[in-house]
Amino acid sequence: MGKIRKLPQELINLIAAGEVVERPASVLKELLENSIDAESARITVNITDYGKGLIEVIDDGIGMNEDDAILAFEQHATSKIQKSEDLENIVTLGFRGEALASISSVAQRVDLETKTDKGESIHINIENSKLTKSTSTKVDRGTKISIYNIFENVPARKKFLKSDNTELKYLINTFLEIALVNLNIHFEIYHNSKLQYRLTKANNIKDRMFEIWGNTANNFYAPRIVETDLCKIELVLEKPENAKKNTNIQYIYVNGRKVDSKVISMAAKEAYQGFIHKDLKPSYIILIHIDPRLVDVNVHPRKLEVRFLDPQGIFRTVFSTIRKSLELNTKDELKKALEINNDFKNHTYKSESDNFISSLNQKSNLKGQDFTYPTIKPKFSKVQDAISFNKALFEPTTNGNEAPEISSVQESIKEEPLKITQFFNTYIVYEREDELIFIDQHAAAEKITFEKLLYSLGSVKTKPLLIPTVIDLKPHEKEIILNKKNDLEELGIVIEDFGGTSIQLVEIPEFAQNINVQDYLHEIINNKDDFSFLSREYADIKISNELYDLLALTACHGSIRAGQKLSESEMLNIINGLKTLKQPNNCPHGRPTSWKISKNQIEKNFKRAF
Ligand code: ADP
Ligand code: MG
């Protein structure tokens, strides 16, 4: 080990920057927080090249005078606290005075133009750590800060950035997370000069949710505000019947700052227990307003965590507030459901959707109530339509692949089954020699579609649509879809830019005539592709994770669903289809396609055998 040396200031800045400025989205977060702390009423964000080119925030806040504008870029220079006691009473989003110093040390160039109410307009430029100042032509009060080519000179960090689309998603999410709760600020965000979101001032959070998520906001109950001795809680809770397996709307804010809080998320999870199936996750927005002296925000470099002085108190308060809200709201829903039931007496309803299952689970907790549920419209209008989708897939492969290996499942389904039945419109069951075989019809059909698609990548038979479908998207959604244009084409899905924020669908695979394109495209957009740079091996083929996900998604949307009644020949098609697969044991998401139980095991259960 060598001699100890004091690091030069530039290097110190870089090291500190590593903690604060992890990716373009962290730059945006810091800049937006500064604009909010500066009491802005209007904030505009301009991004180019997924944040790698420019990240610019323009506000109409209090601005800075000349001395402050220069000082702002020094490490630990802040106007927000002065002495150590102030740390216990933080009411602003920033307080460490680190962000601008860190950002300017990892960007190739920074421009700041700022003006206070009365003062002159100032322009600061920083390039290669050299600061120059001049006068600016800015006439209105406020600050415009432009960060160019972030990480251009920091290859170590640049290397860890994810795909362009993912970084853009992070940027947009960061923007939305902040905009969601700052209702009296008008926000706009542009990417490559295209408007992504315009959020006008809102009266309540539900209005802003509608602006951001559209009709998804209907999945939530009306906001509720409850005041306790400890804190004020504002809740926007998802209706239990809308809960899904995955959600990214679990937002927790403490005094306006979005944070990860185990205490609060655990309390919410517990509170939803019994209202939703245990495998589902509720969406929610929880805002806690608490005396700043009762919470420490100075525990994480990026201010993502907080420490409560009384965590148990917070847990109890959040838990019981959510619980009570859900009880009150579901009681109302139950009343409505019973009214519906009177109209539909003596009918049995079938449904295929997960929603339905969740509503069953949820409602079965409401003891002593015996009623049926309105049907949920299936994805395919006719079962026959769904079958025809799959039919083309059951034809033998023609591309000369080697005979598949025989796996345990194939062993079991080698021979034509004798008796074959469908249970719960979801499982195919049959007897073979000394075994009972169970097949999950969706998992199996999905896997068959998946392999067929995989082995005919690039040569999927397509059919032009008589009337192309035009689909309206949000601008960043359109960008994500257009970036996948080539991959989609490999799968036989041909899309074209239709101008504005629309795309049009012109060709789809021959066997996919009934795919619900809207749902399908939206799922592609929301698919997390964080590991898209990795590749996967499937049997003898190597494909990128991104393409694998796309294939899995297409297979899922284009295959027979759970909950569909099948005829015997349709069941046989699935069984025969499974036989041709290279890897028949699991669906593309990893769930088993089938399992079996031996006669011997059954006899053991009945104590006929030991
Ligand atoms: P912090 O926000 O923790 O104080 P920053 O490095 O983010 O540290 O900012 C340093 C200082 O620059 C702030 O304390 C504030 O006085 C000033 N500042 C930064 N951005 C703005 C802005 N948009 N409007 C007015 N003042 C700003
Ligand atoms: Mg700041």
Q: Predicted confidence band at 290 (pLDDT cuts at 50, 70, 90)?
A: very high
> For residue 3, is pLDDT > 60?
yes
Q: What mean pLDDT comes out for the span 148-168? A: 89
356 CB near ligand 1 (under 6 Å): no
pLDDT tens-place string over residues 441-465: 999 998 888 888 888 887 778 878 7
Give the model's pLDDT for residue 121: 96
Question: Which residues make Cβ contacts (< 8 Å) with residue 213, sequence separation at least 6?
Answer: 249
Give the model's pLDDT for residue 26: 94
Query: 406 or 547: which carries more pLDDT confidence?
Result: 547
Q: Predicted confidence band at 140 (pLDDT cuts at 50, 70, 90)?
A: very high
Give the model's pLDDT for residue 514: 61
> For residue 374, is pLDDT > 70?
no
Ligand 2 geometric centre to CA of 99 (Å): 5
> For residue 160, is pLDDT > 70?
yes
71 CB near ligand 1 (under 6 Å): no
Give the model's pLDDT for residue 588: 81
Pocket probe for ligand 1: among 21, 78, 185, the residue whose CB has the most ligand atoms within 8 Å is 78
Pocket probe for ligand 1: among 30, 34, 71, 103, the residue whose CB has the most ligand atoms within 8 Å is 34
Q: Determine the Cα–Cα distance for residues 175 and 169; give it in Å rounded to an integer.
A: 10
> For residue 248, is pLDDT > 90?
no
> For residue 404, is pLDDT > 50?
no
Q: Predicted confidence band at 100 (pLDDT cuts at 50, 70, 90)?
A: very high
The answer to whether residues 57 and 45 touch, using CB atoms and an 8 Å cutoff, is yes
Tell me the helix, strand and coil percentages in the chain, rounded to 5: 40, 25, 35
> For residue 372, is pLDDT > 50?
no
Ligand 2 geometric centre to CA of 74 (Å): 12
Give the model's pLDDT for residue 385: 35
pLDDT tens-place string over residues 522-537: 888 777 554 444 556 6
Q: Which residue has the least CA distance to atom 13 on ligand 1? A: 78
Angstrom distances, CA of residue 586 to CA of 270, 296, 374, 591: 32, 47, 33, 5
pLDDT tens-place string over residues 458-485: 777 887 877 788 888 888 888 888 988 8
Query: 12 or 483: which carries more pLDDT confidence?
Result: 483
Query: 304 or 10: which carries more pLDDT confidence?
Result: 304
Q: Predicted confidence band at 268 (pLDDT cuts at 50, 70, 90)?
A: very high
96 CB near ligand 1 (under 6 Å): yes
- Helix (H/G/I), strand (E/B), else coil: 608: coil
94 CB near ligand 1 (under 6 Å): yes
Q: Which residue has the least CA distance to atom 17 on ligand 1? A: 72
The answer to whether residues 443 and 454 touch, using CB atoms and an 8 Å cutoff, is no
Ligand 2 geometric centre to CA of 31 (Å): 7
Residue 318, amino acid: V
Give the model's pLDDT for residue 62: 97
The answer to whether residues 308 and 263 touch, using CB atoms and an 8 Å cutoff, is yes
The answer to whether residues 481 and 521 touch, using CB atoms and an 8 Å cutoff, is yes
Q: Predicted confidence band at 17 (pLDDT cuts at 50, 70, 90)?
A: low
